[in-house]
Structure 1
């Protein structure tokens, strides 16, 4: 697929996605890398735009340069955003109580602290990015695993082989302490995400380096 057709497919996918007002989003494509520019009215729209682009066949990378411009009635003071973030995290059953700290500056939320699992880290970010007034999230939460299994590599390989979307023999796995590096080829972005998820699901993994290529 040439870049001209790829760009048009991305534009069509953004227009098709009901959660996005794509009128002010610019799209460029070069060698399979899509650049998004312009602005949207909320942070969830910005994230939805990125997810929509990854769904398009032929996309190999994304340069995300969309600005969040909140309408006047949706702007919130930083202290108000921070208090609402603290409250919503306290009510979230996936996030350990008092494990995550919140700092807000000009609508940007920074999350810090320690949790035991990656899904807890992800749940905290997902909870706060939906809040009105948020223009972006820096997720600096660290994973402090309670177990360091000696067979991390084997457990990841087994998980990959169980996954219907993946050809496990095409994926290389290197474990260095608590860091897992994935390499090799996959057929789609969905397969790439599935491989990452399999690695993150193993207790003891604190970092996943994704060097998988979409072919």
Structure 2
């Protein structure tokens, strides 16, 4: 069990451990497993890295992320420049079907729309935007619509979870058409994300509803 103070320190140490991050920029509070991140960073990549570092700590049940991205004047770009760099990044990545994705940029906030066949293509599009200067936020509204017409088998998803390193015995899988739902409990945020990632590999899938709860005892 961890106290609120212990969980706070663990997250602070995890952020400090990341080479990309300057721990002085990011404030951390913790209460009953809910971790709040605040502060100002000079790139969107740092914002993502801080959240990822917090997710990797045992005891974190939820994250409230209020980190603001403010660029120095030398890194400020127009929305047109950001959009053009995104399109160039898409063309340079073979995992991204760039002709299927629309990009909109407003005041550094990027919205991605369109349709792809696999979730990894949706993730690749978002990840390619993370490191670009001028990006302040990303809204990924890309829809996944597989061309596979085979019926999704619940047991196939369950078997894939059992083969993984996560403890899947408390995960309940249900299938409705092209949608896979995950309920039950896991013991870390990593396990929750990993379960969804595995489910997303199912041929024919359009959506994963990840309602897994992270259970971890917190001392008071």
* TM-score using structure 2 length: 0.93
| Equivalent residue number for residue 184 of structure 2 | 184
SS in 1 for 2:30: strand
1:10 aligns with 2:6: no
| Equivalent residue number for residue 207 of structure 2 | 207
Q: Which residues in structure 2 correspond to 1:1-215 (within 5 Å)?
A: 1-163=2-164, 165-215=165-215
Task: Give the number of aligned pairs.
Answer: 214
Q: Is the 8 A contact 2:111 2:141 kept in 1?
A: yes
SS in 1 for 2:19: coil
Compared with structure 1, are the counterparts of its residues 79 and 196 closer, same or farther at alpha carbon in structure 2 (3 Å cutoff)? same
Per-residue CA distance 1:73-113 (angstroms, 9 max, x = gap): 01100001111111111121001141111110000111111
Q: CA deviation at 1:144?
A: 1.2
For residues 47 and 53 of structure 1, the distance between their equivalents in structure 2, rounded to whole angstroms, comes to: 10
Per-residue CA distance 1:135-188 (angstroms, 9 max, x = gap): 11111111111013213312211111211x233332101112222110112222
SS in 2 for 1:208: strand
Unaligned runs of at least 5 residues, structure 1: none
* Higher RCO structure (Cα 8 Å, ≥6 apart): 2
Larger CA deviation: 143-152 vs 18-27: 143-152
Unaligned runs of at least 5 residues, structure 2: 216-220
Q: Is the 8 A contact 1:152 1:204 kept in 2?
A: no
Larger CA deviation: 205-214 vs 79-88: 205-214
Q: Is the 8 A contact 2:152 2:202 kept in 1?
A: no
Q: Is the 8 A contact 2:148 2:203 kept in 1?
A: yes
Q: Is the 8 A contact 2:152 2:203 kept in 1?
A: no
Larger CA deviation: 1-10 vs 35-44: 1-10
Q: Is the 8 A contact 2:152 2:204 kept in 1?
A: no
Aligned-pair RMSD on alpha carbons? 1.2
Q: Is the 8 A contact 1:113 1:140 kept in 2?
A: yes
Q: Is the 8 A contact 1:90 1:98 kept in 2?
A: no
Q: CA deviation at 1:193?
A: 1.9
Q: CA deviation at 1:34?
A: 0.2
